[in-house]
Amino acid sequence: MNVLLKNATIVDSTNKNLHLKKRDILVKNGVIDKIASKITPPNKTKIIDYKNLHVSLGWFDSSVSFGEPGYEERETIENGLKTAARSGFTDIVLNPNTNPVPDSSSDIVFLKNTAKYSVNNLHPLGTLTAKGEGKHLAEMFDMKNAGAVGFYDFKRSIENSNLLKIALQYAQNFDGLVHSFPMDTKIAGKGVVNEGEVSTKMGLKGIPVLAEELQIARDIFILEYTGGKLHIPTISTTNSVKLIADAKKKGLDVSCSVAIHNLFMIDASLEEYDTNCKVMPPLRTKKDIKALIKGVKEGVIDFVCSDHIPMNIEEKRVEFDNATDGSLGLETTFGILNQIFDLEKSIELLTRGRERYQLQTPVFKEGEIACLTLFNPEEEFTFTKEEIVSTSNNSMYLGKLIKGRVFGVICNNQILI
């Protein structure tokens, strides 16, 4: 496959010689063959010459759910990866949000094999506990050898403190990354939205910020005792940022992420009772958003993720209390991120994070394998159902202004535009 990108603006702050320069880029047989001011294309070369074409290293998302196996009506792996590629992501970490959950090496092999020939790369998480039930550790070592990049009972907190302690100690034997969802279920109770003025006004049970922060404080204390590697996914409160900042100052090996919607939308967005805005952790307040954005800028928060969770219509078109948590996020992550931060910061956030999962980071230079995302950062449009690539339609961003159009990706010696 030969592809020539014409007059593309390169966005790569790690490469001062090319950053924000316009260049022609020739990709031959999946490798960046030449980068120059002007390149005459060889025969049988696909030429991409789009208005305001920008190119960066391929984007990475640390929290994506599909449905297969078990929930194929939500999203298959094939269409989910196509959605990710159309959204600019060359690498995604797949959550164990399936039925059955992946808790053995054979489950990880199935996921890897199903995605083997895709234009982009799927990196599966295995569950931390058998069947994701929080009672006994799963086959972590075997799953790691089969290709699991970490261990996570998706959106389920590890209530048994001793189990988390043992997991962190055991995982050190093979450099495993343990995930712990930040939610004390006893404090959260039957809450469905952020506890505060909006929950009172709507007559819905609230989830206090204490539920998240208490769990994070506990997990950090355990990590300080055991050592090991801990990742806290999708934090959402002001004090959560402070707790993790303090832990990093102590030298603890802890990382965290924030979902893009928790940087963009507040709990007041729920006043229409739109179940597409029902997520976990819940949408919080302007104060929390301000603290989270500051945490991202200062590097306390390691990743901004889509937290993409497809849900079919039956799981959303019900009473708010009974609706399943989750929103689509892949298709809109760049367009929202590009409004919160400047272009350089947005691309930095989208291309960082692979090292935490022991994945190789691509390099933008001649002779290196091409792992590229193509986009126009200036195009603005209103997000509608026609823009959705996913099988499901549960997007909280419908009707929202999006800034930035993704053209597609070049990866694995394939192109999807």
Looking at the predicted structure, is the pLDDT value of residue 1 above 90? no
> Residue 76: which pLDDT band, with cuts at 50, 70 and 90?
very high
Going along the chain from its start, the domains and CATH numbers come out as: 2-55+365-380+398-416 (2.30.40.10), 58-357 (3.20.20.140)
pLDDT for the residue 212: 98
pLDDT for the residue 332: 98
Residues 32-55 pLDDT 10s: 999 999 999 999 999 999 999 999
Query: Is residue 33 among the annotated active site residues?
Result: no
For all residues of the chain together, what is the average pLDDT? Answer: 97
3-state secondary structure of 299: coil
Residues 114-162 pLDDT 10s: 999 999 999 999 999 999 999 999 999 999 999 999 999 999 999 999 9
Q: Which of 142, 302, 307, 325 is catalytic?
A: 307
In which element (H, E) is residue 408 found?
Answer: strand 401-411
Residues 289-329 pLDDT 10s: 999 999 999 999 999 999 999 999 999 999 999 999 999 99
The verdict on pTM exceeding 0.85 is yes
Q: Is the peptide bond before 182 cis (omega within 30 degrees of 0)?
A: no
